[in-house]
Structure 1
C-alpha cells in the first residue's frame, strides 16, 4: 500500500522523512537520462573550475591580486548563481525541466567562451557572472528529474552517480587546462590558421565552452517525466518574471508590495539599507568593493526570497527555510564546503607557486588524483549512506561529519609537503574522505520535502552551499594570502570553520529522528498543503 505522496508505510516506520517517488522501478530510458545529466554536470564543472588552473596566467597577464583571483574563482560566479537559483527552483517545479536545463547549459557554456575574450578584471567578472546565471538551472532541474526517473530506495546512489560528474569535470578542467597552457604551441597546429596567435589561457576558455552548446540540444529533447502535480499553466515569460522578482532588486519591491503592502516594502528597504551600510563599511575597511557588493546582493536576495516564500508558498517555506532541521544541516554542509572549496580552488596555484610545478604537471597530477579519489568517495558514500539510512535516518549527517573532521590532518599535510608527489598523496587522501557525504546529503534534502517541492528544495540547498562555499571561501583564502604573503596561511585559515560546521551538523542530526513521514506531512497540512 502507498500513500497519496507515493511513499511506502515501511519508510515511515523506519522514521524517514517524506521521500515521495514517482516510479517503483527505473526504466532503461532513466539510465540514458542519467548519462546525459552526468555529462551535463561534467561540463558544468569543467566550465566552473577552469579558472583555477589558468588563474596564475590570468594573475600575471591581467595584473590581478589574489583577492581578485579569489573573487573570480568564487564570488562572481557564486552570488549570481545563487540569486538566479532562488527563482530557478520554483521555475523548475512549474515548467519543463529538460528545456530549462538546456537553456542554462547553452548560456553557461557560451559565457565560458566569452571569458576567453576578456581584457580586464571587469570583463572576466561579467563572464563569470553569466556562467553562474546559466549554471543556476543545473541542480534544481537535474535533482528533480532524477528523483522522478528513479525510485526513492536508489536515490542516494543515483544522485551520487550524478555528482560523480562534478569531480570528473573538475579534474578534466585541471588536466585539460594544464595541458593547454603547457602545450598550446603544439596543440594549436591542429586548429584552423590563426589559432596559434591566441594566448593559451584564452584558448582554454574557448575549448572548454564549446561542447556544452552541442550537448544542450540532447538535453532539450529529453523526455519530461510525469509529475504528480500538473505543470503550472501560467505563461512562461510571466512566470519567469514573477519568480525573478522575488529575489532581484528592485523588482523585489514590486513583489513585496503585492503580497504585503507598504509595511512589507518599508521593512525590506530598512533591511536593504542595513546590508548596504555593512557592505560599505567592509569595503572601506578591507577594500575589494566588488566582493562586498556581491555578498550584499546575495544576502539581500536570499533573505528577501525567504520572506516572499513564507507568504507565497507557506508549506514549502515551512519545510525548508522555516525548518530548523533543514537549516542546521544546510548551514553545516555549507561551512564544510569552505574547506573543500579551498583545497579544490587553490591547489593548482599553490603547487605552481610553492612547489614550482608546471601547469601540465599540476593539472594532470591534481586532476587524476582528485577525479579518482573523489569519484570513489562520492559513489561509495552514496551506497554506504543508503545502506546505513535503513537503520538510522541520521546516516547522511553522520557521513557528512566524518567527511568534515577526519580529513583535516591530510589537509594540513598537503601544505607541509615539500614535493608535488607529497602534496598529491595528501590531496588524494583528503578528497577520498571529503566527498563521502555528497550523494546522501543531496538525497536527504529531497527526502525532507514533498514531490512538488523537489526542484525548489534542491535550489535552496545548492544556493546555501554555493553562496557560502564558493562565495566566501576562495576570496577568504586569497585575501589572507595577500595580507600575509603566504598562500598556505590563507588555505589553513579556513580550518577555523570546522568546529562550527561540526556543531551545526550534530544539532541537525539530533533532530532528524523526529522528522518522520507523519510529522513532515502534518507540518505541510498545517501550513495549508492539500495532502
Structure 2
C-alpha cells in the first residue's frame, strides 16, 4: 500500500520528527499497518474467545442465556466504551504507540486472569479488565493510520486494519474449538492470552510515533480540542449523525452473530464444537475480511470518482445481504445455513471501512483519536453491549414457547433492525460532500 512518500527520519527518541519536509517510506508505513493489524487480531482473539465457551461456562456456573449475554456483552462493553473516551483524549495529546502497547499488555494479562476465575462475578471482573485494556487499542490506531496514509488510500488502510476483527475471530473460533474439544475453558484462556504480551514489546520498540497531519502535509489545527468541542463539531455534521445511527443498528446484528453464532450451530444444528469452529473460522474470517476489504477499496475509488456515493453504495450492498441472513437462520439444513451465512456476513461488513474513513475525514487533526473513541463508544455500547444482551434476552423469551429454538428467532429478530440501519446509513451520503468541505475550509482558515 503506497502512500507516495519515500524517506523516514527518526528523532532522537526513535520517533518521527515533526518536520514538514519529513516523509515516510511506503514500506515502513505498510509495516506499521501490519503491526497494528496483528494487535487488532489479538484484540479480537481475546475478546471473541468467550463466545466459544458460552456453553461450558454457562453449565459450570449455572447461568442463564441472559446472564451470558451480559457477560459477553455489557460486562466487556461498558468499561471498554467509557474508558475509551479519556484514553482517546490522552492519545490526542501524547504518544499513541505507547498507549496501544500498554493497553495490549493489560488486556492480554486480564485474558489470562479470566482462566483463573473462581466464580461468575470473578469472570465479570476479568472481562471488565479486558475491556479497559482493549479501549486503548483502536482510537490511537485509527489516528496513527490517518497520519501514515493519505485520504485517497485511508479507507483501504483502515479496511486492512479492520479485517483484524475477522482474522482474530476466526482464530478464536478455530483455536477455541480445538481447545474446547481437548482442554477445559480455563486452560484455553491462559493459552490465548499469553502471546499478546510478546506482541506488545514488538509494537513498543519497532513502531515510531509520527507527527500529526504527516500524510496530509499539514500541522495540527490549533492545539488540542476538548471532548465537548469534538462532540459538538461532529454532531453539527448531518452526515456524521446519520452515519452513526445507521452503523449502530448494523452493529447489533454483527455482534449478535459473532457472539451467538457459535452457540447457534451447536444448539440448533447439533454440530460438534470443533466442526462449528472450523466453519465459523472460515465464514467469519474469510467472509468478514472479503467484505471489509471490498468496502475499503470501493470507498477509496469512489472518493476520487463519485464522492457522494462513498457511503450510499456500501450501505446498499449491506442491505442486499439481509435476505441471506434470514435464510441462514431459518433453514433446517446445517449445510444450507452455512452456505447462506457466508454472503450475508461478507456483505454485512462492507459498510465498516467507509464509516471509519468518513469519521476520520470529518474530524479535525486534533480530534481524530477522540472522534474514533466516540464512534467506538456509540457502536460498542449498542452493538458489543446491547447486541449480545438483546439476543440472549430474546432467546430466553422465545424459549418459553419454542424451547431451544428460541435462539434462532432471537437472531432473526435483529435483522429487522439492520434493514433500518442500512437505510439510515445510506442517507448520510446526502450531506457528506458539504461536511467534508467544511473540514477542509477550517483547515485552510
TM-score (norm 2): 0.88
Q: CA deviation at 1:27?
A: 2.9
| 1:40–1:105 contact (8 Å) kept in structure 2 | yes
Unaligned runs of 5+ in 1: 1-20, 185-199, 235-242, 244-307
CA radius of gyration, larger in: 1
Unaligned runs of 5+ in 2: 1-19, 214-218, 400-405
Determine the C-alpha separation between the residues in 1 that align with 2:23 and 2:348: 32
| 2:107–2:132 contact (8 Å) kept in structure 1 | yes
- 1:72-221 aligned at under 5 Å gives the runs 72-184=71-183, 200-221=184-205
- Which residue of structure 2 aligns with residue 449 of structure 1? 363
| 1:26–1:150 contact (8 Å) kept in structure 2 | no
Q: Which has the higher mean CA deviation after the structures are superposed, 43-52 or 428-437?
A: 428-437
Higher relative contact order (CA closer than 8 Å, sequence separation 6+): 1
- Which residue of structure 2 aligns with residue 417 of structure 1? 331
1:226-256 CA-partner distances (Å, limit 9, x unpaired): 225579999xxxxxxxx9xxxxxxxxxxxxx
Q: Note closer, same or farther for the CA distance 1:117–1:403 as it changes in structure 2 (3 Å cut).
A: farther
Determine the C-alpha separation between the residues in 2 that align with 1:22 and 1:322: 34
- 1:309 matched to 2:244? The reply is no
Determine the C-alpha separation between the residues in 1 that align with 2:433 and 2:395: 42
- 1:397 matched to 2:397? The reply is no
Q: Note closer, same or farther for the CA distance 1:101–1:516 as it changes in structure 2 (3 Å cut).
A: closer
- Which residue of structure 1 aligns with residue 425 of structure 2? 505
1:484-518 CA-partner distances (Å, limit 9, x unpaired): 1110111111123134323422442221132242x
- Which residue of structure 2 aligns with residue 187 of structure 1? none
| 1:95–1:232 contact (8 Å) kept in structure 2 | no
Q: CA deviation at 1:205?
A: 0.7
State the secondary structure of the residue aligned to 2:173.
Answer: helix
Determine the C-alpha separation between the residues in 2 that align with 1:133 and 1:375: 26
Determine the C-alpha separation between the residues in 1 that align with 2:326 and 2:240: 31
- 1:362 matched to 2:276? The reply is yes
- 1:333 matched to 2:247? The reply is yes
Determine the C-alpha separation between the residues in 1 that align with 2:158 and 2:341: 24
Q: CA deviation at 1:25?
A: 6.7
Q: Note closer, same or farther for the CA distance 1:403–1:138 as it changes in structure 2 (3 Å cut).
A: farther
Determine the C-alpha separation between the residues in 2 that align with 1:122 and 1:396: 45
Q: CA deviation at 1:107?
A: 0.6
State the secondary structure of the residue aligned to 1:94.
Answer: coil
